[in-house]
Structure formats: C-alpha cells, structure tokens
Chains A and B, each alone.
Chain A
Amino acid sequence: MQTRRLLSAFGLSLGLVSPALVSPALAATDLRGGGFLTDFVGCESAGWAGTATITSRWRLAGLPENHATLSRITILLNSGVINYSFDFQPGDYPELGEWFPVNTALIFGSAGTASDVQLRVLETSPIDQVTDGATTVFVAFELQNFDGTPGCNARGRVALAVQ
C-alpha cells in the first residue's frame, strides 16, 4: 500500500461519494458497521479474552459536514463503549502501519478517559474499490493499551458503510 494513504485516501475517496448518500439530518458523514476485537494480549487484569463482537461508527475528518481535522472512532462493545479521537492536518496523516496516539474516552462502569492509547490502521479495502464508488469498506487495525489498561493490546477488523 502506498504511503500517506491511511485515512486521507480512505476519507478523501469516500468524500467523492454522492452527496445524496449523505443524510442531511445527521449533519455528519458517518461510516457505520461492525466487526470484532480479538487477540487480546496482556489484558488479563481487565478481563478481555477471546473475541469481542462490536458495532462501530467512524466519523472521519474532511468528509462532508464533518470536522476538518478531527476524526472520531466509536467502538461499541457489549459491556461498554470506547471513543478514540485524533487530529491531523490534511497531508499529515500517519502511514498505514504507523502507530499514532489517540485521545480516548470510555464508558464502562462510569465515564472516564484513558491515556497512552495508540492506534494503527493496517489495511483498508483496496483503495481502487473505494475510489470506484464503493460505499462499503473493510478496515483492519491494532490498538495498544486499548482501554487504558497498560500493556493490554488487541487487533480488530470492521466492515463499514457510508451513511
């Protein structure tokens, strides 16, 4: 995969999607779907193991009605929800496979934040499919300290549709 094509290509390509597909009522462009988190490592103290099915919403910067630079990823688990956010100027996106820090807010027993959480996107749908106007995409990613538990890492995949 070419460099600098992480969320920029992902997002910009989707930005070419017909405005008719974007619900004005939402005043935002979301990618919505679900997938899983799995391969939990170092998460025993937090109780994560096996596979967790998730639903997920991605509000990427630069898409119609969205913030210009701030992106948000929400992961909804059975037991709670985690929201990751990150802010990059256009052109400054991390490369595929490159770790970057994310701000993390979560609600399990109570609302809170987590520090030292890092995310990297490993692959997205073949970019040519996205640029051909596909409205559904696959994303693979990894997380470090994913719920704020030091040393607790996991990987995941999602299938998302433009809303």
Chain B
Amino acid sequence: MTLFSRTRLTLAGLVAAATLSLSPAAMAQDFLGGGTIAEFSGCEEQGWSNPQMIRARMRLAATATNGMNALSLFLTDGTVTLTIPDPLAPGGTWRRIWGGAVWDEPGGWDPRPRVRIRNVFVIGGATPATAEDLLIRLRVRGFNWMPYCEATVVLALTRR
C-alpha cells in the first residue's frame, strides 16, 4: 500500500466517521416499543376487528423532521405510518395528519386521516423531548384509506 493510498483511506475513514456523527439518525430522538391497535369501529369493509399486537418506533418532532412526529407501527403483515404535527399533546379536537402503509406496496392514505390524542404520559422527564418512557393513546379516524374507520393506537415506548 502506498503512502497515497493509505492517506486516501484515512481521509475516507474520517469522512465516513464525520458523516455518521452528523447524520440525522444519530441526532434524532427515537423511541422504541410496541402496543396495540384496537377498538376498531366502522372498519368492517376491510375486516379489522380484533386488537393487533404491534412493535413500534417513534421519531420525535424536531427541526430535522419539520416539526413532525413520525410514528411507525409494525404489524405482522405490514407497516403503518402516522405523521403527526407537533404538539404531541392530548386534546379534544380532531387534527388532520398524514397516514400511510406498506402492504403490497407503499401508499399514502387518501383521504388523509385525523387524530385525537387522548393521553401522552411522560415518564422520567417533563416533556416528550426529555422523557425516558412515553405512554401514548390516540384515536385515528380514516384508518387505512377508510374514511369512517376508527381505531385506537396505544403504545408503550422507551428512549432508544
């Protein structure tokens, strides 16, 4: 190996390390866990009824995510994503969000779903941004492309 190639490899390594340390993934606040999608109502069209056991990941809203909380719900046969603008706080109103899923292929829910956040229990911190654990209960209307289908998503998450 020549001095030049060694230098080039060293520089490449440094660049790679710097890239890793600066990557959004490294700076993002991710929470991991799971829960259930349950209490289906008006979803007979697609056959949803029993609670779904899921694993989940949530990336908290931040500058890098344009203020969006990105929720991934992993079912056994597909994945659902919910993108919820800040604040991630309980409220009585239905808020328009973005939803999507990967079943046979990726797609965005149309019409866009709405969400009513029922509970956000922050454990080990004052806000979700400082939380150790998060317990979340929210109701989604317009689940999986069905305008009148509602479901409750309940999650127990911990900081990654």
Interface residues of A (CB under 8 A from B): 23, 32-36, 38, 50-51, 53-57, 76, 135-136, 138, 157-163
Residues of B within 8 A of A36 (CB): 32-34, 156-158
* List of A residues within 8 angstroms of B145 by Cβ: none
**A138 proximity list for chain B (CB < 8 A):** 121, 135, 154, 156
Smallest CB-CB A-B distances: 5 pairs: A34-B34, A161-B38, A159-B35, A33-B36, A161-B51
Q: Chain A: interface secondary structure?
A: strand
Given contacts A55-B55, A159-B135, contact A35 B38 (CB under 8 A): no
Considering only CB atoms and an 8 Å cut-off, how many residues of chain B contact the other chain? 24
A157-B50 in contact (CB<8A): no
Residues of B within 8 A of A (CB): 32-36, 38-39, 50-51, 53-56, 121, 133, 135, 137, 152, 154-158, 160
By beta carbon, the residue of chain A nearest B53 is A55
What total count of A-B pairs have CB within 8 Å? 97
Q: Check B158–A161 contact: CB distance below 8 A.
A: no
Residues of B close to A54: CB separation below 8 A: 34, 55
Give the dominant DSSP class at B's interface: strand
Query: What are the residues of chain B within 8 A of A50 when measuring CB–CB?
Result: 160
**Interchain CA distance A76-B160 in the complex, whole Å:** 19
Question: Which chain A residue has the least Cβ–Cβ distance from B137?
Answer: A136
Cα distance A56–B154 when bound, in Å? 13
Tell me which residues across on chain A come within 8 A of B154, comparing CB atoms: 33, 136, 138, 159-161
